Structure formats: structure tokens, C-alpha cells
Amino acid sequence: MIYNILNGDALAYSFPDSKIEGDIIVVREALIDGDLSGNDLHAFWHSRAEYLQSTESEYHDKVVSEFEKIRNAPEDSEFNLWFEYDLFCQVNMWFVIWVINSFSAKKKVYAVYTSYLDSSSKHFWNGFGPADSDQLQVCFSDRILLNDNDLQLADDLWTAYKNGALEQLARLATHRSSAFPYLREVVEAHIGRFPKEGTKARPERVLEDIIKNSSTDFHEVCKEFWRREAIYGFGDTQVKELYDKVMCHR
């Protein structure tokens, strides 16, 4: 069985036009934010539902049911992980691989990245959104097979991330893997969210500078933040929370 695991519904709408073989599984989570507690998946899902202010039934139907497709996949399944390079997507990807690793069935796991984009382009971190069917086919043909070391690395990355173990994350980021080509930069960006004593977090410093020198209008601030710090992959929700915090302390 072949599965294409997509990070969010945006790509899911256009993906069938690419005629790429396989069933679609959609990850509808944003693990870059919120409560990650829980010693097993059931407790973890409960924590996430509470954080997102969703009923367990709603959360199960929208989110958990998609992950159950992964856990119920037959032996020798192939998983194509359509995730982007930014922190938001990479954290979700680490978790997906952790879920895949949690069952012992033989499987093949591939990372499908936005190889149609030039790394020097200002849109490099923007992802699959603008891609047409031919470009999605290019990304698929450039997919990367994850070996056992890659799968274990993703497992360890998720565990360290979930536990807030920043030093362990930094150590893991020194591993070189074609499956995670911007791992060091992504982990550094994440660590930058937790300032050392006497300093402010990297995203807040950037927002303060934008607000001070460019604009206080949220939409303008948001666009400029995305331009400067696309590596985070933050959506409106994450930027608005930080924006409100900075504006409150002006």
C-alpha cells in the first residue's frame, strides 16, 4: 500500500491533479505550539484536544483518525512524507516518523521536499502551495529514501522536542543526513524561541524591530516577519500571539 502524507489540507485539494499514486493522509496538527504532554498516544491526544479547545470527539474525527490510517497500514507499506523545510513542518514530520516507527511492520519511508524551488529564491521556504502538477511530479521524483539511521534520528528529534530537551536537540542537529538537509538551521531557530537570561526570544526581537522601524499594522508586520523568518513556518496564529505580546510590552 502506498500513502502520501500531506502537511495540511491546502496541498490535499490540489494533490489529486498530480496523478501521483497512493492514498492521501492529511496531518492536521501544529505541534510547533501548545501542550505536548502525555506518556502514550491516548494521553497525548487528550492534551492536544484540550490545548486546541476541541472536544475529544471533534479532535478524533479531524486529526486522530488520519494518524490511525498510519498505524493501521499493512506490512510493506510505502509512506511518502510531503513536508517542507521549515520548523513548523519539520516538527510535524518528526512526529509522523515517530508514529510510523511505533509499529514494527516493514515499511519504506520517503521524504518529499520542495525540490522544484531554488534554494536562493526568496520563496524557498514557502513550500508546496504554489506548485503545479508537473512541479509536484518533480518533487516526487526527487524523493529521499530514509534509512534506519534517519528514522532513528527523527524519532530522537521528536522525543527531545516533546520533552523540551534543547541541549539534546542541539546535539542531534550535528548529525548530517540528506533526509533532513536544514536540520541545524531549524533546530537553531527553535532554540532561539527560548531566550537565555537577560535576552529576548529571537522571534520577539525580530517583531520588535519590525514594529519599531516599519509598521505596527498586524498584516504588514506579519508579512515582514514571514519575509525575514520564513524558517519558522509560523502561520497567522503563531505570529499574532507573539505580536500581541510585543505590543502589550511597548
Q: What is the CATH number of the domain that holds 126?
A: 3.40.1360.10
Number of domains forming the structure of the chain: 2
Same domain, 171 and 243: no
Same domain, 161 and 238: no
Same domain, 21 and 134: yes
So what's the pLDDT on residue 205? 94
So what's the pLDDT on residue 236? 87
pLDDT in tens, the chain (250 residues): 999 999 999 898 889 999 999 999 999 999 999 999 999 999 999 999 999 999 999 999 999 999 999 999 999 999 999 999 999 999 999 999 999 998 867 899 999 998 887 766 656 677 887 889 999 999 999 999 999 999 999 999 999 999 999 999 999 999 999 999 999 999 999 999 998 877 889 999 999 999 999 989 999 999 999 999 999 999 888 999 999 988 887 6
Asked if 207 and 213 count as a contact pair (C-beta separation under 8 A), the reply is no
The dihedral region occupied by 19, where left means phi > 0, alpha psi between -120 and 50, and beta the remainder, is: left
Report if residue 193 sits inside a domain.
no
Same domain, 12 and 80: yes
Same domain, 137 and 236: no
So what's the pLDDT on residue 121? 61
So what's the pLDDT on residue 130? 82
So what's the pLDDT on residue 129? 79
Q: How far, rounded to the nearest angstrom, does the alpha carbon of residue 224 sit from its chain's CA centroid?
A: 21
Same domain, 170 and 209: no
So what's the pLDDT on residue 116? 80
Report if residue 135 sits inside a domain.
yes
Give the residues across from 3 on adjacent strands: 23, 79
Joined grid coordinates for residue 78: 510505502
Report if residue 196 sits inside a domain.
no
Q: What gap in Å lies between CA 69 and CA 25, rounded to an integer?
A: 7
Same domain, 128 and 52: yes
- Among the candidates 151, 182, 213, a domain finishes at 182
Asked if 70 and 79 count as a contact pair (C-beta separation under 8 A), the reply is yes
Same domain, 103 and 6: yes
Report if residue 188 sits inside a domain.
no
Same domain, 145 and 223: no
Q: Tell me the CA distances in angstroms from 10 to 6, 127, 201, one per residue in order.
A: 9, 11, 30
Report if residue 94 sits inside a domain.
yes
- Residue 48's domain comprises 2-182
Q: What gap in Å lies between CA 195 and CA 169, rounded to an integer?
A: 15
Report if residue 68 sits inside a domain.
yes
Q: What gap in Å lies between CA 158 and CA 96, rounded to an integer?
A: 9
Report if residue 195 sits inside a domain.
no
Specify the DSSP element, H or E, that contains 229. Answer: none
Q: What gap in Å lies between CA 59 and CA 8, rounded to an integer?
A: 15
So what's the pLDDT on residue 226? 92
The number of CA neighbours under 13 Å toward the Cβ of 104 is: 0
Backbone dihedral angles phi then psi of residue 80, each to the nearest 5 degrees? -105, 115
Joined grid coordinates for residue 220: 504588514
So what's the pLDDT on residue 2? 97
So what's the pLDDT on residue 123? 63
Joined grid coordinates for residue 77: 507499506
Report if residue 191 sits inside a domain.
no
Same domain, 32 and 123: yes
Asked if 35 and 24 count as a contact pair (C-beta separation under 8 A), the reply is no
Model's pTM, two decimal places?
Answer: 0.94
In sequence order, which residues have a C-beta less than 8 Å from that of residue 102 and are 6 or more positions away?
A: 41, 71
Backbone dihedral angles phi then psi of residue 78, each to the nearest 5 degrees? -115, 130
Same domain, 144 and 225: no
So what's the pLDDT on residue 194? 93
Same domain, 108 and 137: yes
Joined grid coordinates for residue 219: 498584516
